[in-house]
Amino acid sequence: IGMGQAPASGRISLRTVPRNFPGRSGTKEDAVYLCSPETAAAAALTGQITDPRTLDMPYPDFAEPDDLILNLEMLDPPPPSDTAVELAKGPNIKPLPEFDPLPETLSGEVLLALGDDVSTDEIMPAGSQVLPYRSNIPEISKFVFAQIDESYYDRAMQQGDAGHFVVAGDNYGQGSSREHAALAPRYLGLRAVVARSFARIHWQNLVNFGILPLTFAAGEGTDIAAGDVLALPDVRQELQNGRSLPLHNQTQGTTLTVTHDLSPRQVDMLLAGGRINHFRAQP
């Protein structure tokens, strides 16, 4: 998973777990393929990708035990509640950043115009260089979209509180359901993603952290380019009025129709700036 034993550049390697995203192995020019444990074992024995059924040996077989041994000694009960206990934090344990509510009008530059099947690993990479910062959002955010565009972080920081957009094709946010793929871009000022379709769990995570997920109407959005300035006027009211919103491309002088599939509760969450803000406001 990119935490050691990285494969050689330009060589093929096999994985039995879904961590075959580009560069996740720890080698930028990797070629990682998913396979069954049997295929991985056969390839390890022969030195090449091998169908395990072709090996000259009995196919492995085993029987599960009737009763499993449970070692409860590994579980430590929590100590008695004591508010006087000091919580010790390491240098990479930082508080979650505070996020503002959705403004009346949302406008900003398109910093990335992406294609189909952008994975959460491409949005928020992992690996030995990144994972130590999972509790340090300002630091881990430096790696957002690094595999796609290494300049994204600097350009997002230049936009600051003005916010920005990302546009994409089908199945945006597929793959691992990591929350940081929404949390870190939101920290960098991403306020809306407009795509042809979203992966379900990432769509929910975007809403939870106050990023507006919008879908292009059929046949629209293909001409939006990185650098275009988009605007959603009266977006707070539009979200409450219905499921269609006008999206103005101020650079090209055009207006598109975008839609959302938010429930009334999710609309309230986005208006508040995310799920945490919405929860805090509850009586």
3-state secondary structure the chain: CCCCCCCCCCCEEEECCCCCCCCCCCCCCCEEEECCHHHHHHHHHHCCCCCHHHCCCCCCCCCCCCCCCCCHHHCCCCCCCCCCCCCCCCCCCCCCCCCCCCCCCEEEEEEEECCCCCEHHHHCCCCCCCHHHCCCHHHHHHHCCCCCCCCHHHHHHHHHHHCEEEEECCCECECCCCCHHHHHHHHCCEEEEEECCECHHHHHHHHHCCCEEEEECCCCCCCCCCCCEEEECCHHHHHHHCCEEEEEECCCCEEEEEECCCCHHHHHHHHHCCHHHHHHCCC
| Helices 180-187 and 200-208, axial angle in degrees (round to 10) | 40
Does 220 share its domain with 140? yes
Does 251 share its domain with 124? yes
pTM: 0.80
Is the predicted pLDDT of residue 175 greater than 90, yes or no?
Answer: no
Mean pLDDT, rounded, for 202-214: 98
Is the predicted pLDDT of residue 2 greater than 70, yes or no?
Answer: no
Amino acid identity, position 196:
R
Q: Which one is predicted more confidently, 33 or 232?
A: 232
Does 275 share its domain with 166? yes
Does 251 share its domain with 186? yes
The 10 Å Cβ neighbour count of residue 216 is 21
pLDDT value of residue 28: 74
Does 44 share its domain with 132? no
Q: Is residue 35 part of a domain?
A: yes
pLDDT value of residue 22: 73
Does 127 share its domain with 239? yes
Q: Is residue 161 part of a domain?
A: yes
Alpha carbon 113 to its chain's center:
16
Q: What is the mean pLDDT of the chain?
A: 90
How many angstroms separate the Cα of 266 from the Cα of each of 98, 132, 208, 218? Answer: 19, 31, 8, 24
Does 47 share its domain with 165? no
Backbone angles phi, psi at 226, to 5 degrees: -60, 135
Is the predicted pLDDT of residue 15 greater than 60, yes or no?
Answer: yes
Of the pLDDT bands very low, low, confident and very high (cuts 50, 70, 90), residue 7 is confident
Mean pLDDT, rounded, for 179-205: 97
pLDDT value of residue 59: 78
Q: Is residue 235 part of a domain?
A: yes
Whether the Cβ atoms of residue 248 and residue 228 lie closer than 8 Å to each other: no
Does 113 share its domain with 229? yes
Q: Is residue 60 part of a domain?
A: no
CATH number at residue 189: 3.20.19.10
- The count of structural domains within the chain is 2
Is the predicted pLDDT of residue 135 greater than 80, yes or no?
Answer: yes
How much of the chain exceeds pLDDT 70, in percent?
A: 97
Is the predicted pLDDT of residue 1 greater than 60, yes or no?
Answer: no
CA distance 209 to 193: 12
Mean pLDDT, rounded, for 203-215: 98
Of the pLDDT bands very low, low, confident and very high (cuts 50, 70, 90), residue 3 is low
CA distance 23 to 21: 6
- Which of 109-113, 126-130, 248-252 shows the lowest per-residue confidence on average (mean pLDDT)? 126-130
Task: Identify the domain containing residue 33 by its residue range.
Answer: 12-54
pLDDT value of residue 25: 74
Does 242 share its domain with 181? yes
Q: β-strand 190-195 against 164-168: which pairing, if any?
A: parallel
Q: Is residue 4 part of a domain?
A: no
Could you report the per-residue pLDDT of 220-245, keeping only the tens digit for each? 777 899 999 999 999 999 999 999 99
Could you report the per-residue pLDDT of 49-92, keeping only the tens digit for each? 999 999 988 877 888 889 888 888 888 887 777 667 788 888 88
pLDDT value of residue 219: 75
Does 117 share its domain with 210? yes
Does 247 share its domain with 149? yes
- Which of 15-29, 87-101, 105-119, 183-197 shows the lowest per-residue confidence on average (mean pLDDT)? 15-29
CA distance 85 to 83: 5
pLDDT value of residue 260: 96
Q: Which one is predicted more confidently, 48 or 74?
A: 48
Q: Is 268 exposed, middle or buried (0-12, 13-18, 19+ CB in 10 A)?
A: middle
CA distance 209 to 137: 13
Q: Is residue 6 part of a domain?
A: no
Mean pLDDT, rounded, for 98-111: 96
Q: Is residue 272 part of a domain?
A: yes
Q: Is residue 261 part of a domain?
A: yes
Does 233 share its domain with 133? yes
